[in-house]
Amino acid sequence: MKKEHQFHFWYFALALFGLLLFQAWLQDMATTQAIPYSQFLDLLKRGGIAEVQVDPEQISGSLKNPGEGPAHFVTNIVPKDLADALQASGVKFNGTVRNTWVAAVLGWLAPLILIVGFWMFLLPRIAERQGLGGMMAAGKSRAKVYAETDTGVTFDDVAGVDEAKAELKEIVDFLREPKRFNRLGAHLPKGILLTGPPGTGKTLFARAIAGEAKVPFFSISGSEFVEMFVGVGAARVRDLFDQARKAAPCIIFIDELDSLGTRRGIGALGGNDEKEQTLNQLLAELDGFDPREGIVLVAATNRPEILDPALLRAGRFDRQVVVDRPDKVGRVAILKVHLKKITVADGLDIGQIAALTPGFTGADLANLLNEAAIQATRRGAESVTMADVTAAIERIVAGMERKGRLLNPAERRAVACHEMGHALAAAALPGTDRVHKVSIIPRTVGALGYTMTRPTEDRFLINRRDLDQRLIVLMAGRAAEELVVGDISTGAADDLVHATDIARQIVTRFGMCADLGQAVLEPARGGFLGEAPGGFSPRDHSEATAREIDLAIRAIIGASYDRAKALLASRRADLDAGTALLLERETITPADFPPLLQEGQAPGDEDQARSASAR
């Protein structure tokens, strides 16, 4: 007999037993009748009582001759003195008994209710706050199950990464029409791993699958598998896949897979037993289920470099889909999706916004348009204009304006000539990003001034000449200070950090230094999150090579500084005039100062762009 059938049988047996008890009680009540105590005394004197049972407050019994009254009776006792007086006066009388059965039942039932209530409601909450949730719900999966309409997101709401969308659409089609794929022997991929930088839309893709697949969708975070008790996470993995098998075809989505899929054996003590057992169970489940069951595991992470190799092999995660930062065409598509929810002015150029935002992810673009809408609301406008978008970009990149921060005249002059040096160098060098705005208004991120530029196109390859020109633009701020003020300041600290980083990569990673050859001397920075702060980078070269690297970096930065200084010296008149104009207006554009225009740039092109330099 199955367990669920046994469960229903015991419920039926309990109900039948209760019914029999209730029937016996009704029969007893039907044959027993309450009589007055005075009648009982009369029957007692005449000898009509056959037998009695005396309780402290009641007397029950039966009659010798049922014709004189009920066969079984019950009566309430009256004190003897009072009964004698009442009987002598010929009054019909009876006693009363206080009904205490409710109090008696509550006396033993109330503590039981309190104990059960504490166990069912209060104890789990206390355990959850104390981190003991695994002890109270060991082995139970916490996955949320969505129907196809729960998320409110479809593939129409996802844009910018067409390749990833095509991969996932194929999985949805596989779930809808398995016979079309099975006719040639193809089977459904077991696992799909979505990787990419934060904010590129990995979780959004998963929600779109839920909206498109029209199959049950189990969504859970990787961190919800891991508890402080060893074995709890593995039990939850088993329970999740058991639920999925019952609901197949279906999709399981695990967000932040790196929470439980970290490479085993990492750490001084050999790793964490609970995490390793959870990962081992996940590997076993991926090997155990049949692709023909229609279960697809979709996972997302922005740290694929730390995942266990056994998790990434074919047969477990058969496909790895990179959801990368969108290019300009992708940004236009993403902006069109988000602009549907915002009231915009007629003629708003989406292409111009996409050009202003190189490197922005989908989440960045959504935040940008929200900031622009807030800016338009703040000024009481009826719609969002390009000026609001520009202000939002400046707000995101450089922070809010701090007009209350007052610089003394010497500091303002140093900042003005510093920013004008960046702007003139960028305008003079061919192939650099166009200058669109120069300002000496302090910002909340610590910048005392900033030079705003915009790339003319997305770049995927950079040659040595372009890198040298970037170094010249970065060093031009300090070179301008030395030329105009006659001294240098700490304002170039951020420029020096970026310049040193570019020079080091030229020497150690790009093989662009003739003295050191084309060998890679430092490993590439791993992952979509970049290097961990304070991380240790192994060195595979000698001390002599390390010294040559340091000398080469110094030589590259020094040469860039000399070239920047020579460039600005040749344009000293423009540098002085631009500094004076910047001190007067605080913010200028190429339309205000034509020397900032590059060759071929129209004087009326006054678009603002994201910051290439901020101090």
How would residue 201 be classed by pLDDT, with cut points 50, 70 and 90? confident
Do both 116 and 178 map to the same domain? no
Number of structural domains found in the chain? 5
Do both 166 and 292 map to the same domain? yes
Do both 502 and 387 map to the same domain? no
Catalytic residue among 163, 419, 531, 548: 419
- Domain membership of residue 58 (yes or no) is yes
Predicted pLDDT at 100: 52
Q: What is the pTM of this model?
A: 0.68
- Domain membership of residue 95 (yes or no) is no
Query: What are 143-178's pLDDT values in tens digits?
Result: 566 555 566 777 888 888 888 888 888 878 877 777
Predicted pLDDT at 148: 52
What's the rounded mean pLDDT across residues 358-372?
Answer: 89
Residue 50 above 80 pLDDT?
no
Do both 149 and 209 map to the same domain? yes
- Domain membership of residue 381 (yes or no) is yes
Residue 57 catalytic? no
Q: What is the CATH number of the domain that holds 174?
A: 3.40.50.300
Do both 345 and 443 map to the same domain? no
How is residue 79 written in tokens? Answer: 């004190």
Do both 266 and 193 map to the same domain? yes
SS3 111: helix
State percent of the chain over pLDDT 70. 72
Do both 450 and 546 map to the same domain? yes
Burial annotation 277-287 (CB, 10 A radius, 16+ → b, else e): bbbebbbebbe
Do both 129 and 184 map to the same domain? no
Query: What are 223-244's pLDDT values in tens digits?
Result: 777 766 667 778 888 888 888 8
How would residue 141 be classed by pLDDT, with cut points 50, 70 and 90? low
Q: What is the CATH number of the domain that holds 373?
A: 1.10.8.60
Within 10 A of 549 (CB to CB), how many other CB atoms are there?
Answer: 21
Residue 370 above 80 pLDDT?
yes
Predicted pLDDT at 475: 95
Could you say which of 296, 322, 348 is where a domain stops?
322
Triad 293, 156, 351: Cα angle to 5° = 140
Could you say which of 322, 342, 371 is where a domain stops?
322
Q: What is the CATH number of the domain that holds 484?
A: 1.20.58.760
Do both 7 and 38 map to the same domain? yes
Residue 365 in contact with residue 395, Cβ under 8 Å? no
Could you say which of 322, 340, 372 is where a domain stops?
322
Q: Report DSSP state, residue 306.
A: G
- Domain membership of residue 605 (yes or no) is yes
Residues of the domain holding 342: 328-398
Do both 212 and 277 map to the same domain? yes
At 392, give phi and psi (nearest 5°): -65, -40
Residue 57 above 60 pLDDT?
yes
Predicted pLDDT at 571: 92
SS3 367: helix
Query: What are 485-531's pLDDT values in tens digits?
Result: 989 988 888 899 999 999 999 999 888 988 888 888 887 765 666 55
Predicted pLDDT at 252: 85
Residue 17 above 80 pLDDT?
no
pLDDT mean across residues, the chain: 77
Q: Report DSSP state, residue 118.
A: I
How is residue 355 written in tokens? Answer: 């050009």
What's the rounded mean pLDDT across residues 444-472?
Answer: 81
